[in-house]
Amino acid sequence: MSIAVDATQTQEMLCTLACLALYDDGAEITEEAVKNMIKAAGATVEPYWPKLFVSALKGQDVGSLVANAGAAGPSMSAGAAPAAGGAAAAAAAEPEPEEEEEEEEEDMGFSLFD
């Protein structure tokens, strides 16, 4: 079984792995550093990919993102994130109503084995 991977997915994966490697090494995640990591791997990406990834990670705790990957459900595409950001923040701020626990049945004074 083989999985088809297009050029866009390959470029996204290269940038993702470069950012993770830089984070793991304790280096600053910059556009130039991502480009250098990809070049050192003998690969190339479109010039906008490193900038896009660096902008998305700016001000983010990468360790927290990695630790919580998948915890919030399916991820949104980069284009949908800004539009839904306000709604997602509002939904996250509202506490979910707690379900009431079912009351245990009272002892009616009999059992199956009487």
C-alpha span between 1 and 51 (Å, rounded): 34
**pLDDT score at 57:** 92
Q: Write down the CATH number for the domain with range 1-61.
A: 1.10.10.1410
Please tell me the distance from the alpha carbon of residue 76 to that of residue 73, in angstroms, as a whole number: 9
pLDDT digits (tens, 9 = 90+) for 38-84: 999 999 999 999 999 999 999 988 888 888 877 755 555 555 544 44
Residues in Cβ contact with 35 at an 8 Å cutoff, skipping those fewer than 6 apart: 50
- Strand (E) or helix (H) holding 30: none
**Per-residue pLDDT at 86:** 46
The pLDDT of residue 6 is 84
Higher-confidence position of 54 and 91: 54
- Distance (Å) of CA 7 to CA 12, 26, 34, 78: 9, 29, 18, 18
Q: So where are the chain's domains? A: 1-61
Provide mean pLDDT across the span 86-104.
Answer: 52
